[in-house]
């Protein structure tokens, strides 16, 4: 497997761009998805939600390919093993969810009672997935379950990042911040 030069201290610019672009799109979709029947009812934003979701799917596959072919900076040695393990577990669950979340939404709209293609911001139609009614129904169920799981993980992830920044002060957040040189007294 090809591996590029390993930067010890921070993520590469490409990895940082992937992280923040996907984070903003996922959080926007989570907020809209969770409140589409209350706060955003009648706003007509579902086509945007679906187009953003397809964008997330493409970016996430590229990001996963990047992750599988590159090493990432190690966590501070001061962190206990269980925290490192938990952090890696949460990251890999995120990789799974940023792919399964849009896939389940795509399956849901490709089958069921009103199958329809997703328009990518009005520029072209994304072909429908070849799914049965049952698979579309399962996609719907999973989309809902994954949505709540993802929202909970996003809160956990942000809380962990803030803990690193303001309590542990170990420079972990700076490694993923554009233009910030990570500093940490516990390195």
| Spatial distance between the Cα atoms of 156 and 159, rounded to a whole number of angstroms | 5
Residues numbered 104-133 forming contacts with ligand HEM, rule: CB under 6 A:
105-106, 108-109, 118
Compute the least distance from the CB of residue 145 to ligand HEM, in Å.
Answer: 9
- Residue closer to ligand HEM (CB basis): 54 or 168: 54
Residue 128 phi, psi dihedral angles, 5° rounding: -80, 150
**Angle at alpha carbon of residue 40, lines to 39 and 45, rounded to 5°:** 165
DSSP letter (8 states) at residue 166:
I
Residues numbered 131-160 forming contacts with ligand HEM, rule: CB under 6 A:
143-144, 147, 150
**Helix or strand (DSSP H, E) at 132:** none
| Spatial distance between the Cα atoms of 171 and 150, rounded to a whole number of angstroms | 25
Q: Which residue is at the shortest CB distance from ligand HEM?
A: 33
Compute the least distance from the CB of residue 99 to ligand HEM, in Å.
Answer: 9
Q: Which of 29, 70, 112, 176 binds ligand HEM (CB under 6 A)?
A: 29
Cβ-based burial of 82 (10 A; exposed 0-12, middle 13-18, buried ≥19): exposed
| Spatial distance between the Cα atoms of 11 and 6, rounded to a whole number of angstroms | 9
Residues numbered 32-91 forming contacts with ligand HEM, rule: CB under 6 A:
33-34, 46, 49-50, 53-54, 56
- The size of the interface with ligand HEM (CB under 6 A), counted in residues, is 22
Binding site for ligand HEM (CB under 6 A): 26, 29-30, 33-34, 46, 49-50, 53-54, 56, 101-102, 105-106, 108-109, 118, 143-144, 147, 150
């Amino acid at each position: 497997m090809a591996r590029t030069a390993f930067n010890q201290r921070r993520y590469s610019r490409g990895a940082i761009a992937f992280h923040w672009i996907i984070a903003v799109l996922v959080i926007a979709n989570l907020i809209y998805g969770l409140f589409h029947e209350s706060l955003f009812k009648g706003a007509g934003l579902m086509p945007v939600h679906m187009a953003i979701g397809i964008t997330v799917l493409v970016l996430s596959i590229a990001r996963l390919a990047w992750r599988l072919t590159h090493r990432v900076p190690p966590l501070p040695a001061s962190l206990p093993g269980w925290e490192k393990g938990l952090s890696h577990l949460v990251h890999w669950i995120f990789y799974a969810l940023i792919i399964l979340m849009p896939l389940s939404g795509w399956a849901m709209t490709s089958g069921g009672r009103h199958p329809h293609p997703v328009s990518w911001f009005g520029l072209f139609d994304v072909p429908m997935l070849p799914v049965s009614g049952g698979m579309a129904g399962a996609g719907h169920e999973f989309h809902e379950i994954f949505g709540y799981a993802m929202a909970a993980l996003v809160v956990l992830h942000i809380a962990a990042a803030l803990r690193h920044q303001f309590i542990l002060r170990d420079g972990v957040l700076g490694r993923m911040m554009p233009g910030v040189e990570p500093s940490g007294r516990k390195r």
